[in-house]
C-alpha cells in the first residue's frame, strides 16, 4: 500500500495487483476531457519487455495536448501522459536491461499511444530504454528530457553546418520555454551572444533569461515583422526557432550571410510565409530537428555529452521541481504558457535530485 503521508509506492517485486499513483486523462461527453491523480495497477500497463519504477518525469508541450485530448497526440482514453521518464528498471525480459539499472525513456511514443511517465511505473519496449549516465541525477535528466535533448541536437546541428558559435550573434525564439531556455544556455556556454525573444516581459522572465545566459531580450511583438518585406536588416549568424508561423518568417528574413536556422517546433503555427531571397542572396540555411528520428547509438553519444561537456553551468537555473500531487496544477501552468524553463515532476522513491 502507499505511504499515507507521501503517496509514494514502495518498490517491491512486481505483480499485477501492485498499486501506484498516476495522472489519468478521461474523456467525457461531447469530447470534453478531465485529468486527475488516480490509483492504478500494473495490470493497467501494456505487456512490454521492461518495467521501470519512475522517479522523475517532466512536462512537455505534447503532454499538455494529450491532457486536452488532442487527437493527433492521443486517441485512446483513459490515458496517462508523460513522454519522458527516468527511473530504475524493476523487471526486464531483455538481458540488456537489468533490474536496478538507471535508465531514461525520451522521444518515443510513450505518453502518447501508451501509458507514460506521469505514473509511478511504466512498462515499455526494450528498444525505448536508454542507460542514464551516472553523472546525471533523475531530476537533471528530466530537466533535459525531450526538450533539452532537442536543444542539444539543434545547437550541434548549427555547428555541423559550419557555424562558429564563439562570438556569433545568436537568436532564440520562445526563450522562456523548455527548449528555448536550454538553447539559450547552450549557445551562451559556447561563447555566442544570445538574444532571447519572448512573449513574457515581466521582471521574473527577464531575470530568468539573464541568469541562463541571454545577453539581450526582445519582446515577441517588437521582434515579429508583418510588413511583408522580402528581406530585413541582417542581424543573426545562427538561430533556434521553436515557434514557426510569423516568428520563423521574421527569423529567416533577418539572418546574416550564410546564417543557419535550426527549426525545432511549431507552437505558433505549422505554416509560415517565405520567399527565396534570403536563401539565394544571403545563402541562409535551414536545418530541421527531429529528436525521435535519432538512432540509439547517437542518443547514447549525445546523452554522454549532455552529462559532461554539453552540460551547461546554468542547468540548476533551468528547471524547478514539483511533486506528483502538484502535477495537475503544473500542467495548467505550462498549457497557459506561464512557466519559465522546465518543470520536473518528482514521482518519489530514491533521492532523484542526486547523481549516483
Cα–Cα dist 327/206, whole Å? 25
Sign of the CA dihedral with 144 first, then 59, 37, and 122 last: negative
Task: Look up the pTM and report it.
Answer: 0.91
Residue 337 pLDDT greater than 90, yes or no: no
Radius of gyration from C-alpha coordinates of the chain: 21
Length of the chain: 356
For the stretch 195-208, pLDDT in tens is 999 999 899 999 99
> Which candidate, 74, 82, 148, 73, places its Cα nearest to that of 120?
82
The predicted structure's pLDDT at residue 71 = 92
How does residue 10 score in pLDDT terms, banded at 50, 70 and 90?
Answer: very low
For 266-304, how does the pLDDT look when each residue is reduced to its tens digit (9 = 90+)?
Answer: 989 899 999 999 999 999 999 999 999 999 999 999 999
At residue 239 the predicted structure's pLDDT band, cuts being 50, 70 and 90, is very high
Enumerate domains of the chain plus CATH numbers: 19-132+316-346 (3.90.180.10), 149-291 (3.40.50.720)
Which cell is 22 given?
Answer: 498516476
Nearest residue to 224 (alpha-carbon basis) of 192, 199, 256, 191: 199
pLDDT of residue 238: 98
The answer, yes or no, to whether residue 113 has pLDDT greater than 60, is yes
Residue 120 has pLDDT above 80, yes or no: yes
Which of 79, 88, 151, 61 has its CA nearest to residue 343? 61
- The grid cell for 219 is 519582446
Find residue 325's DSSP bridge partners: none
Amino acid at each position: 500500500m502507499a505511504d499515507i503521508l507521501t503517496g509514494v509506492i514502495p518498490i517491491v517485486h512486481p505483480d499485477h495487483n501492485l498499486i501506484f499513483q498516476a495522472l489519468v486523462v478521461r474523456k467525457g461527453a461531447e469530447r470534453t476531457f478531465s485529468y486527475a491523480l488516480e490509483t492504478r495497477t500494473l495490470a493497467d500497463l501494456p505487456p512490454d519487455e521492461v518495467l521501470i519504477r519512475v522517479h522523475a518525469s517532466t512536462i512537455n508541450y505534447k503532454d499538455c495536448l494529450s491532457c486536452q485530448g488532442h487527437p493527433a497526440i492521443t486517441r485512446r482514453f483513459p490515458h496517462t501522459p508523460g513522454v519522458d521518464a527516468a527511473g530504475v528498471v524493476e523487471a526486464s525480459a531483455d538481458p540488456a536491461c537489468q533490474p536496478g539499472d538507471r535508465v531514461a525513456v525520451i522521444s518515443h511514443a510513450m505518453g502518447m499511444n501508451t501509458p507514460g511517465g506521469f505514473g509511478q511505473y511504466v512498462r515499455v519496449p526494450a528498444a525505448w530504454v536508454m542507460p542514464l549516465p551516472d553523472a546525471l541525477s533523475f531530476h537533471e535528466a528530466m530537466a533535459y528530457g525531450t526538450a533539452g535533448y532537442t536543444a542539444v541536437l539543434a545547437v550541434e546541428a548549427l555547428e555541423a553546418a559550419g557555424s562558429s558559435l564563439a562570438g556569433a550573434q545568436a537568436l532564440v525564439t520562445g526563450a522562456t520555454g523548455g527548449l528555448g531556455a536550454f538553447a539559450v544556455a547552450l549557445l551562451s556556454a559556447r561563447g555566442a551572444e544570445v538574444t532571447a525573444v519572448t512573449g513574457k516581459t515581466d521582471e521574473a522572465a527577464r531575470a530568468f533569461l539573464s541568469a541562463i545566459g541571454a545577453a539581450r531580450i526582445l519582446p515577441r511583438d517588437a521582434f515579429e515583422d508583418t510588413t511583408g518585406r522580402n528581406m530585413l536588416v541582417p542581424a543573426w549568424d545562427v538561430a533556434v526557432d521553436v515557434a514557426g508561423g510569423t516568428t520563423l518568417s521574421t527569423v529567416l528574413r533577418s539572418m546574416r550571410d550564410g546564417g543557419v536556422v535550426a527549426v525545432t517546433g511549431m507552437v505558433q503555427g505549422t505554416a509560415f510565409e517565405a520567399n527565396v531571397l534570403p536563401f539565394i542572396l544571403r545563402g541562409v540555411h535551414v536545418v530541421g530537428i527531429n529528436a525521435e528520428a535519432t538512432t540509439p547509438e547517437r542518443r547514447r553519444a549525445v546523452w554522454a555529452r549532455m552529462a559532461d561537456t554539453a552540460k551547461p553551468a546554468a542547468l540548476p537555473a533551468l528547471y524547478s521541481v514539483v511533486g506528483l500531487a502538484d502535477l495537475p496544477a503544473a500542467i495548467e501552468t505550462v498549457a497557459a504558457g506561464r512557466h519559465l524553463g522546465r518543470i520536473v515532476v518528482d514521482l518519489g522513491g530514491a533521492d532523484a535530485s542526486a547523481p549516483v
